[in-house]
């Protein structure tokens, strides 16, 4: 597998797929063994990752193929429980290849630490007092993490906001911290704690909350791609997809489901690489509502050729340093599979996966409906559930899809029937 484009990849056995991916990414025998094993995370590591550990929970890891991102072929590991997600992502990427695939960029790795200051009679004056001491604030913070500073990170700026609340006007200090290739929660929280007494001294107020914000709007990634109309079904399909987008852009009820489809691409990659799904989810949805109205995370347009152009801009606070990314053996293997060296690269790939899944879902909705694509995969899951294997499983899947009766009781009925016929 020298490129991410592979015809009939889904037809291969699991072992054959792993072999191809290993060849593509240079996975060692040990790393392949990690991915084969549902128990790659040993008990000791698990017990130190979270509290009150009683066991471990496995999910399937698949790979989305066909991606070209910034001119480079990429195979994307995805961990999820939902059928059709990986296939949809791969198909959208395949349809984007003729026009060059995906282009992506990042705004940087700056996270925000918030410091809440209460009990100030003159909030506007306090804002000025804090900003006058900006250099000292930055010095105190950066002294807490000299390693980060030596790598080019650390506090880069200080902002001050006043926020009117039911509890009165609050002064909110923002530390803008370049966290490099780390997600950075621990670094920014430590800095906020360290500088809190000095801010109290400067303002005469009382500092309460001091914690990062997951609305990481200084850490954005952007991705875009063009799908030629002839590759996705023609002008009518383009117009239908634009109509679907207009609905999601205008209506929060539709936007919620549209954005869930985007997160179908994003969250599995975040999980696979050992990053924080809740941070990514909260930041993405908050950013989608930044205008005061919840709307689509993506934008869809038609270019001068009549081709479909999709783009996404989204906060992406992911890291390659610390946390599960460095602890979990499968997460480490997934990062190697991606071939990324920086958090920015990782974030860009994740955004591309989100855009691809959104495209696939919108195309399905605009053409055959969402259920058809799901049907055979769901039927396969049900056949597995009732214990079917091999030839009988394939017959049950085919029959359920043909009869449009994809239900557990029908799977059981067919399983019993085919088993009795074999006897």
The residues assigned a catalytic role are 82, 260, 276, 374
Tell how far CA 364 is from the center of its chain.
21
| Beta bridge mates, 106 | 221
Phi and psi, residue 236, nearest 5°: -65, -40
CA distance 203 to 45: 45
CA dihedral 317, 323, 327, 331 (to 10 degrees): -20
- Extract long-range pairs of 248-256: CB within 8 Å, 24+ residues apart: 248/295, 248/296, 249/295, 249/296, 249/299, 250/295, 252/293, 252/294, 252/295, 255/288, 255/294, 255/295, 255/296, 256/294
CA distance 139 to 162: 23
Q: Is 172 exposed, middle or buried (0-12, 13-18, 19+ CB in 10 A)?
A: middle
191-204: buried (b, 16+ CB within 10 Å) or exposed (e) per residue?
A: bbbbbbebbeebbe
């Amino acid at each position: 597998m020298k490129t991410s484009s592979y015809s009939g990849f889904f037809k291969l056995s699991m072992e054959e797929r792993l072999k191809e991916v290993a060849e593509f990414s240079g996975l060692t025998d040990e790393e392949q063994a990690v991915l084969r094993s549902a128990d790659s995370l040993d008990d000791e590591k698990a017990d130190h990752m979270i509290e009150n550990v009683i066991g471990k929970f496995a999910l399937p890891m698949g790979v989305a193929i066909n991606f070209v991102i910034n001119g480079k072929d990429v195979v994307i590991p995805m961990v999820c429980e939902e059928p059709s997600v990986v296939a949809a992502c791969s198909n959208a990427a395949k349809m984007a290849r003729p026009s060059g695939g995906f282009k992506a960029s990042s705004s940087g790795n700056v996270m925000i630490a918030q410091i809440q200051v209460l009990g100030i009679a003159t909030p506007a004056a306090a804002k000025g007092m804090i900003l006058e001491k900006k250099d000292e604030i930055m010095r105190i913070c950066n002294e807490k993490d000299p390693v980060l500073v030596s790598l080019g990170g650390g506090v880069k700026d200080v902002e001050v906001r006043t926020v009117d609340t039911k509890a009165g006007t609050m002064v909110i200090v923002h530390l803008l911290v370049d966290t490099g290739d780390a997600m950075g929660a621990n670094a920014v929280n430590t800095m906020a704690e360290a500088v809190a007494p000095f801010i109290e001294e400067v303002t005469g107020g009382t500092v309460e909350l001091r914690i990062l914000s997951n609305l990481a709007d200084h850490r954005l990634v952007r991705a875009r791609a063009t799908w030629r109309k002839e590759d996705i079904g023609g002008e009518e399909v383009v117009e239908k997809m634009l109509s679907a987008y207009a609905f999601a852009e205008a209506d929060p009820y539709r936007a919620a489901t549209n954005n869930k489809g985007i997160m179908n691409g994003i969250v599995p990659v975040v999980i696979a690489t050992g990053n924080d799904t809740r941070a990514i989810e909260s930041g993405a949805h908050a950013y989608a509502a930044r205008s005061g109205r919840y709307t689509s995370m993506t934008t869809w347009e038609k270019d001068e050729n009549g081709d479909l152009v999709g783009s996404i801009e989204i906060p992406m606070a992911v890291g390659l340093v610390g946390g599960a990314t460095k602890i979990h053996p499968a997460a480490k293997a997934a990062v190697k599979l991606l071939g990324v060296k920086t958090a920015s690269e990782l974030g860009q790939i994740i955004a591309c996966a989100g855009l691809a899944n959104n495209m696939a879902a919108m195309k399905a909705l605009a053409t055959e409906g969402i259920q058809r694509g799901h049907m055979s995969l769901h039927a396969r899951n049900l056949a597995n559930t009732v214990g079917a294997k091999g030839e009988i499983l394939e017959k049950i899947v085919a029959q359920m899809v043909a009869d449009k009766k994809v239900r557990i009781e029908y799977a059981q009925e067919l399983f019993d029937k085919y088993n009795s016929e074999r006897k």
